[in-house]
Chains A and B, each alone.
Chain A
Amino acid sequence: MTTAFQGEHLLPGQLGQFFIILSFGSALFSAISYYFGTTGQNKFDTSWQWMGRIGHFVNTVSVIGVGACLFYIVYNSFFEYYYAWAHSSRTLPAYYIISSFWDGQEGSFWLWTFWQAVLGNIIIWKAKSWEKPVMTVIALAQALLTSFLLGIEVLGIHIGSSPFILLRTSMSEAPIFSRPDYLSFIKDGQGLNPLLQNYWMIIHPPILFLGFGSMVVPFAYAVAGLWQKRYKEWVQPAISYGLFAVMVLGTGVVMGSMWAYESLNFGGFWAWDPVENAALIPWLTMIGAVHVMIVYKNTGHSYFTAVFLTLISFVLVLYASFLTRSGVLGDTSVHSFTDLGMFWHLVIDVSVFFVIAAIVVIVRYKELPISKKEEETYSREFWMFVGAIFLALSCLQLIVVTSIPVFNRAFGTNIAPPTHPVTIYNVFQAGFAVVVTLLAGITQFMKYKKTDTTRFGITSIIYLVVSALITAVVVYFTKIYELRFVFVLVLFGGIYMLLANAKILGDVFKGKIKLAGSAIAHIGFGLLLIGALIAAGTSKVISQNETADYGADFAKGNNPKENIMLYKNEPVKMGEYTVTYVGDSVSAPNHYFKVAYKRMDATGKVVENFVLKPNSQSNPKMGLVSSPDTKHYLFHDLYTHISMAPQQAFSFGDEAAGHGEGNDDANYNPPTTHDIGIGDTIPFREGNIILVALNKEAHVQNIPMGPNDVAIGAILKVESHGQIYSAEPVFMVKGSNVFDFARKIDDAGLKMRLTKITPNKDNTPKVELMVYEQPESKKPYIVMRAIEFPYINFLWSGTVIMAIGVLLSIFRRNKELKTV
C-alpha cells in the first residue's frame, strides 16, 4: 500500500484492533490458567488462579476498550471505517449512536462479550471455591466469543469479522478507493436501519444479550460440578443464576416483541420467526432446568434431567447464534442475514460446548446421583418434573421446525417450511401450554413429597370448577370460541394457573413469605399467556374494505380485504370510527401521515377525537420502510399502519420546485373558466370557491413593481370537506406584458388562475377565473390497515409481574445459598 490517504483517523481503529487481539489472547490465557489452577494438585498454590484472574481483568479492560474505540469512531462519524459508514450517518441523533452499535453483527457480538466479561467478574468476586472450574468454562466461552471479532487471516483462513475494518479495505475493488483523497467524496454514512430507530432498540439488545450471556453461568456450574465431582453442590448456585437468566432473557424477548409491535408492519407482536424462536427456545429450556433443579434439591430425584436441561440451554443459545448469524436460514426467514463467512466458525463454537457437555456427562455418568427410587405420584415435585418435560418438548417442536433449513443444508434435502407456519406453531405450542399451565396450577395444591389426597382432591377440583366458570365468561365476551378449541383450553389453563397461584399469594400474606416469588412469577406468566392469547387470537382488522369496487379480476379471491384507501380530507367510516387522512408532516427522514380518528355516539356527537401518525421513512439502505402508530387504551390497542402511499408523497424538498407550468397542468383535469363577480360562488367537486374581494395592492415575491404596473389579487375562500382554505391568485400587468400567477390548494386538489379582469363603471368588476381540479387519481391518498388488539396490556403487565416474581425468587434462593 503506497498511497498516502488523506484525512483518515487510523489511530482509534488500530487501538481497537489491538484491544480485540488482546481480549482474545487474555481470555484464552485466563481459561488455560484457570484450567491448570483447577487440575493442580497443590491446593495452596494460588498462582494459577491469580493468573486466571489477571487474564480475565485484562480481558474486561480490553473489551471495554474495544467498545470505547468503536463508540468514538461511530460518534465522530469516521466514515473511513466500514462499520461507521454502514450503520450510522451524520443525521443520526446521538442516542441512536448506541443503537447503531447493534445494527451490525460485530457490535452485537461485542455486547455479548461485554456482559460475559461482567459476569466473569461477579463470579470471581462471589464464587469462592467454585471460581476456578467455573471460570475455566466462562473464560473459554469468552475466548471463543471474542474470536468472532478478530478479523484476521491465519493460513489463508479468515477468522472472525472486525468492526474496525476500513471502508477502502472492505470495498477495495471500487476505483474510488485508489484516490488519496477518497474520503472527501464520502459525505455521509448509510445510516441506521430505520426500524432500529426506536427507543426499544436502545434498551432491548443490551437486555437480550445480558440474558444470553448469563446462560453460560449455570452451564459452567453444571460442568464444574460434574468435573470436580461436586455433584450436589453446583445445583444451588446454578438455580440462582438460572433464575437470573430466565428473568433477563424473558424480559429481553418480550421487549423485542414490543419493539416489533411498535415498529414493524406485520400487524402483531409475535410471528414465530426463526429469530424470535431462537431466543425463546433457550429461555423455555432454562425455565424447565430451574424447576427440575429445584425438584432435585428438594427430593433428590430427576438429577439427570436437571443436568441435561442446564447444559442444553447454553448449547441452544449458541445454536441460536449459529441459526441467526450463519446465513443458514436463507429464504425461510423474514430476516435475512448476510453470511459474514463465519459459518464454520459458528459451527465450531456450538460443537465445542456441546462436546464439553457430552464428555462430562458420559465420563461421570456412573457416578451421578441418579435416584433409583420411584417418586410419589401425589408429590408436587413429580408434577413439576412432568411440567418441565413438557416445556422441553415444546422446545423440541420449535427446534425441529426452525431447523428445517439446517437439515436441508446438512442432508441436501429441499424441504420448505410449512406454508402456514404460524398456525402450526400456535396449535402445537398451545397444546403444550395447556399441559404446562394446568400443572403449574395443580402443583400449587400439592405438598412437598407427599400430599393428603382427599384435601388435595377437593381444593384442586373447586379451583378447577371456578376456573372453568371464569373461562366460560371470558370466552363468551372475547369470542375466543370462534377459534380452535385448544385455545379455549389454553385460556382455561392460564386462568387456573392464575387462580391457584393467587391462592398461594394469599398464603404469603398469612406469613409464608418464602412462596411469594414463585406465586408472583406464575401469576405473571399466566397473565402474559392470557394476554397474548386474547390479543393475537381475537385481534380484529377494522379497516375492512366494504366499499371497494372489486374488479372482475378480483372476484376470484375471497380473502378478507384488510386495506382501505383514504383520499386526503375525505372521511371514511371504518368500524366505529370515522377516519380522515388529514395531512402530512415531514421531519426528515421520516414522513408522517396524519390520520384523524373520530368516534361518534348515536346522536352524532363526537365522543372521541385523536390523530395517529404512522410514518414511512425513505432510507438509502433499505428503501421505503413504514412504521405503525398505535393508540393505547387500558383494555385494547388500536394499531394503524400505512400499506401504500403514492410516490409523489415522498418529496423531501429537493424536487418540490422547478417543474415547468405545462408539465404541472398535466396533473390536473382540463380547467373550467368562470366569469364571476365579488361574492359569487363557484362549486367544484369537493366544495365551493367564493370570491371574497379583489386586492389591488397585490405583491408577488421578488418582483419589483414599476409606477405604471398593476397587480390585482383575487382573494378566494375555498370550502372543502369542512375545511376552509384561502388563496390569492394574482393578475399582473408589467410594462407591456401580462402575467398571471396561479395558486394551489393541494389539500383540496385545486389550482386557480386569475386570467382576466373586466373593469366596470359602477365599480363591480368581473373577473375570469380558471379552475383546475386534480383528477381523482392524482389526489393524495394513503392505503392503510388498522387492527384492534384487545387486552394486550395483560401481556406487557404479565411480563413485568413475572420478572418481579423471578427477582423475588432469586432473593429467596440466594438466602438459602451458603457458598463455600
Chain B
Amino acid sequence: MGDITIGSMSSQYYDVLKEIGNIGAGNATTALATLLQSKIDMGMPEVRLLKFSEIGQLLGGEEQVMAGVYLAIEGDINGSIMFLVKEEVAMHLIRKMLGDMTSDTMGDMEKSALKEISNIITGAYLSAMSSMTNLSIIPSIPDLCIDMAGAILSVPAIEFGQLGDEMLLIQSQIYDTVAIDGFFIMVPDMESYKKILKALGMTV
C-alpha cells in the first residue's frame, strides 16, 4: 500500500466530505424536523482540517463539556464515526424530544434519547455517503460519553494520529430556536479511504 497522508489526499477528499456534509446535513435536518416536530434550518457545512495543537480552539476549548456519540462502521468501509455537540445543545435537543418528561440532568432516559437523536443524524450522513459511493456502510450500536472535549476528541485524534498530525471534520450548523453547532468526524481506515475515492472515480 502506498503512503497516504491526510495532507496528500486532502483536496480530493475535501470535496467529497463537503458533498457528504451537504447531503448529510440536509438529510439530518429533514429527519430531525420530523422527529422533533419543529421547523429546522441548516447552515452551510464546513470541512475543517485541524492540527492536533488547534483542537482546543474548537468551540469552547479542551475543557468544554460535550456530548460525544461514537460508533463503529463496517461493511465495504471500516472505521468509526463520531457526532459531537456541546452539553447544553444536547440538553436542548433532548428537551425538545422528551418534552415534559425531561429532568434537567443527564439521566438514563436523557442519554437514550440523545443516542436516538445521534443515530438519526449519523444515519443521515452515512446514507449520504453510501448513496454517493454505492458502498455498503453498516453502523454499530452507538456509545455515548459526556466529558471534556479534549478527552472525547482524543479518540478520533488517535485514529488520525496513525496517518499524521491533523484531523478532518465536518462542522455543520442547524437552527431551530437556537443554533445547534454539531461536529461530525468520520475516520475510515486506510484501505477504506482508497475505496471511497475509487468509488467516486478518483485516482488513488
- Is the A/B pair a real complex? no
